[in-house]
Structure formats: structure tokens, C-alpha cells
Amino acid sequence: MPKGPECQVERCKFPATTMHRLKEPSGPFDFPTDVVICEIHKDKLSDSATEWVLLNEGDGSRRLLVGPMLAELNEFVVLAPIKKLTVHAQSSRVVSHADHNGYSVPISVRRRGGEEETLTLVLPFDALVETADFLQHIAQRGRMRRTGEVDEA
């Protein structure tokens, strides 16, 4: 007896029973998001609170990650703009390597597929200016794109 298609959620081996559209396209060139899935994932994905990511791989294949599986992406969504940066006084902390020292930048994040937490980046003093310039450049381009100005750079 021929076997029907399996659920397209990664590592799920249950038979696919239904076609599900993850997201309505917002333009004609959007990737299609129709997937065939099992009953369990149909219930999960029908809940708008469920987090998922559909990855379109270079070779034309797709991977659908749902919920805690997203942790494998090792990505952190920044929950609020960075507005704080501290420097520990030399008298309060001594580190073994000078280049392991710098500005402490606490960032409120949520790991994809996980919980909220605070990460603290330690940005070496020398790296701050270059990082700030880079982010400033990105921000400027984003602003121009939003206002419809042409980026001459």
C-alpha cells in the first residue's frame, strides 16, 4: 500500500491530513506558505500564539520549525531598543585579559522558541565606535527606505 505524504513539520512522522496556509502572501513575490501537516500540528498552527519559522533552503527544499524547535536557530529577538551601557569601575572588577573588558550592554531578548531573558554583551572599548558607525549606517538606510528617499551611497 503506498504511503501518503508525511507532515511537513520537521521530524514529524505523522501522516499529513490537511493543507494549511501559514501566512497570507503580502505581495506577488512572497514565498508560498502552503504546507501539508498532521492533525496535531494543525491544532498547534491554528493557534496564533504558536511560533514558527519556514526556512526556504537554497536547494529549493523547505524546513518548517515549530515552537521549541526554533531554539536550534540560536537566534535572539531583541525586545526593546538598547538604551543602557555600563562600564565597571577598574576598582570593582579585574579581568584576566584586557580585550575581554569593555562596555557592558544588557539587552532584553527572547530566544526564538524560548523565554525572555537578559543577555549582557561585553563590547570591547575599541569595538564600540566601529559598531556604532555600522549600526548608524544601517539605520540611515532603513530610514530612507521607509521615507522613499533614494539611497545614493
**Interface with Zn ion (CB under 5 A):** 7, 9, 12, 14, 38, 41
- Which residue lies nearer to Zn ion by CB, 9 or 109? 9
Give the nearest distance from C-beta 4 to Zn ion in angstroms.
13
At CA 67, angle to CA 27 and CA 115, rounded to 5?
Answer: 110
Query: Could you tell me which of 85, 120, 122, 84 has the C-alpha nearest to residue 101?
Result: 122
Collect all residues with Cβ–Cβ distance below 8 Å to 144 and sequence separation of at least 6. Answer: 150, 151
- Which residue lies nearer to Zn ion by CB, 14 or 31? 14
Give the nearest distance from C-beta 117 to Zn ion in angstroms.
29
Give the nearest distance from C-beta 53 to Zn ion in angstroms.
15
- Which residue lies nearer to Zn ion by CB, 12 or 54? 12
CA dist 152 and 53 (Å) reads: 34
CA dist 6 and 38 (Å) reads: 8
Give the nearest distance from C-beta 31 to Zn ion in angstroms.
20
Reduced to 3 states, what is the DSSP secondary structure of residue 45?
A: helix
- Which residue lies nearer to Zn ion by CB, 14 or 134? 14
